[in-house]
Amino acid sequence: IEGAAEGTGLGIQFLKHLQRTRLLLHLVDLVPLVPEEDPVTQVRLLENELEKFDPGLLHKPRWLVFTKADLLPAEEARERAAEAVAELGWSAPWSLISAAMKTGTAELMKRVSGELDRLVAEAAEDLDETRDGGRADPESGAP
């Protein structure tokens, strides 16, 4: 999506869509077709475009998903992903998947579903608190 923040291609519509999401998944090729585009470079490019378009997007929950793990031996794939996570200083959740081999995808979907449920519940609680104006529950009789 390089240049998307400046309106390149359909990127601007995609970035506008991201503003309405609760959770961003950065899908990054663990073994990119172009060697210069290593996973760390890909993530930094994504973050740069997000920041140019709307710095608030960087404050949304963001997870890192390394794809094409099947192109490397399992241990090497895990090591390469862990090295990228360390180099990025990534503290949010991350996953290693292979869509072609269907490894890691079911687990990722379960984790995403659980996180979305949590975020929706959290938003509902915040909305309830906003509606109540911070007042105590009227049914409890507590001040």
Averaged over 5-19, what is the pLDDT?
Answer: 66
Return the pLDDT at 58: 93
62 in Cβ contact with 92 (< 8 Å): yes
Confidence of residue 59 (pLDDT cuts 50, 70, 90): very high
d(CA 108, CA 66): 11
The tens digit of pLDDT for each residue in 33-45 reads 887 889 999 999 9
